[in-house]
């Protein structure tokens, strides 16, 4: 998951992410006493909601800062890599993930690990960015980065697959896909708008730029995207598309 995170900035600018997770939580259908791994748990908001259903939940996230925020919320969470999970075989009834899998660089390694830690018949339930997710934002940011000689930085930052392609990949790793949907979700952004989105969800890209250039890139990208993603009242809407699925080991 090639990104750096600040829990306070995420809370201010990214609260809509866990706030829009009711659908994938419904698909999970956590049951009392189930052992569930929350993969990419972030600050633990959804981990806590799953635990409230009576499940025994373990959160794992690559970011030490977000993991600490999850622990402060009172949930079990530890730092770990989706591509190399430090859990025994067949220990979880379900692996859950929201808005994290598209940050995983090696999707095959991640699926292999998820399949390994699931008990036979256990389910993998997740929502991630799907094909077309934030397409306008990515094109705008890439154009601005290219103008300043850093066009390669956005390339390969995320995996936003088609349903067909991801289904094939899951099947190759021994999963049976029970449900899958590609869901367009135009998402209103908070008051911080596009600049807030970029400084939160493209922080890893921005940190690779020379310090004096970072704010310039943010401002120029927001200006470029204004005609398409900001309305006449100044409200921003991000062009989100989500891929949600249930797969059984």
pLDDT of residue 1: 41
Domain extents in the chain: 7-134+158-190+237-248
Average pLDDT of 156-180? 96
For domain 7-134+158-190+237-248, give the fold: Rossmann fold (3.40.50)
- Mean pLDDT, range 197-201, rounded to an integer: 94
Residue 159 in this model has a pLDDT that exceeds 60:
yes
Q: What percent of the chain has pLDDT over 70?
A: 98
pLDDT tops 80 at residue 244? yes
Confidence label for 100 from pLDDT (cuts 50, 70 and 90)? very high
Over residues 14-71, the pLDDT tens digits come to 677 778 889 999 999 999 999 999 999 999 999 999 999 999 999 999 999 999 999 9
Pairing of strands 92-98, 237-248: unpaired
Order of all β-strands in the sheet with 56-61 = 77-79, 56-61, 35-39, 92-98, 118-129, 237-248, 176-188
Mean pLDDT value across the chain? 94
Per-residue pLDDT of 211-242, as tens digits, reads 999 999 999 999 999 999 999 999 999 999 99
Q: Provide the Cα torsion 43, 57, 96, 80; round to 10°.
A: 60
């Amino acid at each position: 998951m090639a990104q750096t995170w600040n829990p306070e900035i995420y809370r201010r600018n990214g609260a809509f992410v866990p706030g829009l997770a009711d659908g994938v939580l419904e698909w999970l259908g956590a049951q009392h006493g189930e052992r569930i791994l929350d993969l990419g748990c972030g600050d633990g908001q959804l981990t806590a909601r799953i635990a409230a259903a009576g499940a025994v939940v373990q959160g794992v996230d690559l970011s030490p800062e977000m993991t600490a925020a999850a622990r402060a919320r009172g949930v079990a969470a530890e730092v770990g890599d989706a591509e190399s999970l430090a859990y025994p075989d067949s220990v979880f009834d379900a692996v859950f993930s929201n808005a994290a899998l598209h940050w995983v660089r090696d999707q095959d390694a991640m699926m292999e690990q998820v399949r390994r830690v699931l008990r036979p018949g256990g389910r993998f339930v997740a929502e991630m960015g799907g094909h077309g997710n934030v397409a306008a934002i990515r094109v705008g940011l890439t154009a601005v980065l290219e103008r300043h000689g850093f066009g390669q930085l956005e390339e390969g930052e995320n995996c936003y697959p088609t349903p067909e392609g991801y289904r094939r990949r899951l099947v190759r790793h021994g999963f049976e896909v029970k449900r899958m949907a590609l869901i367009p979700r135009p998402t209103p952004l908070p008051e911080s708008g596009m600049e807030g989105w970029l400084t939160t969800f493209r922080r890893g890209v921005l940190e690779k730029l020379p310090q004096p250039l970072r704010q310039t890139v943010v401002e120029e990208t927001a200006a470029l995207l204004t005609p398409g993603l900001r309305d006449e009242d100044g409200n921003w809407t991000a062009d989100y598309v989500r891929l949600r699925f249930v797969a059984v080991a």
